[in-house]
Chain A
């Protein structure tokens, strides 16, 4: 099987190499070839032996960690739809509906994103980097499921070109490309985004009764207007019939991947166990959120116990999958504590004190990304000074 496939690849390879008819697709061919086969490159200089781990391996692990959140999200789309319209779907109908809604988002996300990646790799003469495999998997999980596909396409193109490629591609970007996609949507289409058509109930949370899964149509019944997270209170949640357990398990409204804390925790375990994401960032982000949530509680800004902040909205997803992005997070060990804490604290601060904008996680992480190089700079300088003094 392996040899047969190899001989086919070898046969068509010259067509895509320099001088071949399809040389303009060289980077695309190369991406698929290295997807199938680990290349035969041998070490020319430096270390003659190398660890067998590569970026493909590490990033596929990240995708595996996202799969529980994805699966739950697919179920939840169908479930929320069924509940909102009183359809009484069976399990497979729920899953089927969920897939039907999510697959177009994935197609657009990957076609646009990878298309740009392949093209820019070809122009620059680089190999295609695998970074977008993860970004492209995350994007549909953090946008509202009824987002028009053309808006998604534009947002993805913006994020990949201006968020990543102009900095030099994967590994060089300052901001997390998936979050940039989301930020672009939020700032470019605010009327749809913060209104009740797409973002019913604020960015991350919407009221199930008010959900409309059909793009462009009116709100189903009774409910209109967003409910900011800022007004979320024990009473408010109780009035909607949402318990803390619901928030933890995730059978509530919200962006596809973010609702289930359980599924996200499974992902967190995978990421921490494999060492791919930093537990320091996750822990300090949780600490930051708890601290500000607690201060808000005793200060009277909210009556929610501080730990509600961890299970509501996009906090858990952002902390586990987005704040820990190794490229855009702080790189120094001490910097990670500061960076994570900053994100957690800022997210809850926005939630509590900004009535116009109910969810703080997106901007908190983007702010954290912006500050990360500065944090690292200070940590590195302080550390080097410390060592040179003690030497």
Chain B
């Protein structure tokens, strides 16, 4: 069956600290931040000032290029601070949450009764439009464009990722409503990719979507890899992507008329005092889960360890994230580390170490990069961990050189930095793959604009 796709290449990181399937707490954060930096290429236009009262669903900023795209507060409260960085770049709008939550009323409705334009207007107004990501480039979808198709990855293969069945239980109706709404709004096919084991779950019987089954190691769960195998993006084409968690929020918006972005977030990693799930909203301050973070020099990552963002203990959960990874900062020196025959505490894919002898062993990984940055040398290893018909080193070198033609030829439209994270992990030259690809994409955005 063509809808079953088995990927041989990839890498499942043996990282300690998978989340126990248990809700540890319901976090009602004191402060919530909405960060323009969570949206690639966004130039925000601030719509509030410090001290303003906002409801859940009230706009905080808009897209300057496309002002109808609003970015709304996930909670009600008062605007505590507007954080700016260099050149007054807007970094975050922090909202101090009220005890009693008040929601903007967007009016209840159902997909059948709404027209495509009405659905679009509703998503734009409620702030849920920002969940739609456009590929190539990974920017917020442009409402003026009709995509070729919409892709949803029903699972994540990232290290210690949240279990889709656990976080989406009881959301079936909402997700179905979300899928139907997107299908009706865009008028194009919605592709839902599931992992093999999800066939019997409610996700396996979703309507208005074409279902594909993927099998394989990380990054098989990345929507970029799935698009590549279902229907690759060619020059001039755009596709949109959205996560099931965000589809559920669309479903809730339709059925309740309220913006409710609450989600189960997996707290994972070797430095978690307790692993498990917390129910919270995007933009949650990490200080709210301080009790789950172990003592010591711990890096608090919003997202997974491969492509998450270093938020810090006082940082905020990213808009699209449903995982917090906690690992130790590895700022130590290791004497003769590279010459040691056996480094039992470190993991390596390379056969120059012996990790492959115990494939089921899990490791307490830290942030040390275990070496110095060098030029590309062993160029044949990367395609083993990238299940795409691409030449990753050629693509990376084209990005480094800033050669648009070559980037196009080698498939820059097919990838986002996250898709090449496994290459970055195994790189013996310690090259920053994701940064390199991101710079290439930035250049494309600039040149193509």
- Report Cα–Cα, A326/B234, bound state, in Å: 32
Decide if B10 is an interface residue (CB 8 Å cutoff).
no
Decide if A170 is an interface residue (CB 8 Å cutoff).
yes
Decide if B13 is an interface residue (CB 8 Å cutoff).
yes
Given A46-B433, A50-B369, CB of A278 within 8 Å of CB of B380: yes
Q: Is the CB of A54 within 8 A of B306?
A: no
Given A46-B424, A170-B374, CB of A54 within 8 Å of CB of B234: no
CB closest residue in chain B, given A53: B350
CB closest residue in chain A, given B13: A49
Contact digits for B413-431, partner A, Cβ 8 Å, 1 yes 0 no: 0000100010011111110
Decide if A217 is an interface residue (CB 8 Å cutoff).
no
Segment of B99-107, B276-284, B312-320, B328-336 engaged in the interface with chain A: B328-336
Decide if B347 is an interface residue (CB 8 Å cutoff).
yes
Decide if A240 is an interface residue (CB 8 Å cutoff).
no
Q: Is the CB of B299 within 8 A of A171?
A: no
Interface residues of A in 45-79 (CB under 8 A from B): 45-58, 60-61
Q: Select B365's contact among A45, A46, A49, A58, beta carbons within 8 Å.
A: A49
Decide if A36 is an interface residue (CB 8 Å cutoff).
yes
Q: Is the CB of B367 within 8 A of A49?
A: yes
Q: Is the CB of A380 within 8 A of B13?
A: no
Q: Select A52's contact among B232, B353, B383, beta carbons within 8 Å.
A: B353
Contacts of B63 in A (CB 8 A): none
Segment of B192-200, B337-345, B441-449 engaged in the interface with chain A: B337-345
- Report Cα–Cα, A336/B383, bound state, in Å: 15
- Report Cα–Cα, A52/B424, bound state, in Å: 12
Contact digits for B355-373, partner A, Cβ 8 Å, 1 yes 0 no: 0000000000111111111
- Report Cα–Cα, A54/B337, bound state, in Å: 10
Decide if B325 is an interface residue (CB 8 Å cutoff).
yes
Q: Is the CB of A326 within 8 A of B425?
A: no
Q: Is the CB of B368 within 8 A of A57?
A: no
Q: Is the CB of A127 within 8 A of B330?
A: no
Q: Is the CB of A49 within 8 A of B15?
A: yes
Decide if B46 is an interface residue (CB 8 Å cutoff).
no
Q: Is the CB of A49 within 8 A of B305?
A: yes
Decide if A378 is an interface residue (CB 8 Å cutoff).
no
Q: Is the CB of B350 within 8 A of A57?
A: yes
CB distance from A324 to the nearest CB of B (A): 10
Q: Is the CB of A43 within 8 A of B369?
A: yes
- Report Cα–Cα, A42/B372, bound state, in Å: 10
Q: Is the CB of A54 within 8 A of B430?
A: yes
- Report Cα–Cα, A385/B65, bound state, in Å: 36
Q: Is the CB of B327 within 8 A of A48?
A: yes
What is A's interface to B at a CB cutoff of 8 Å?
A: 1-2, 5-6, 34, 36-43, 45-58, 60-61, 127, 129-131, 168-172, 273-276, 278, 326-327, 331-333, 336, 380, 383-384, 387-388, 391
What is B's interface to A at a CB cutoff of 8 Å?
A: 13, 15, 231-232, 234, 299, 301, 305-308, 310, 325, 327, 329-339, 343, 346-353, 365-381, 383, 389, 391, 393-394, 409-411, 417, 421, 424-430, 432-435
What are 18 pairs between A and B in contact, CB < 8 Å?
A6-B335, A37-B334, A37-B337, A40-B332, A42-B368, A42-B369, A43-B369, A47-B425, A49-B366, A51-B427, A56-B339, A57-B339, A57-B353, A60-B338, A127-B374, A275-B350, A383-B391, A387-B389
The 9 A-B pairs at the shortest CB distance, nearest first, are namely A54-B371, A171-B375, A52-B346, A38-B337, A46-B434, A53-B350, A37-B333, A49-B365, A38-B334
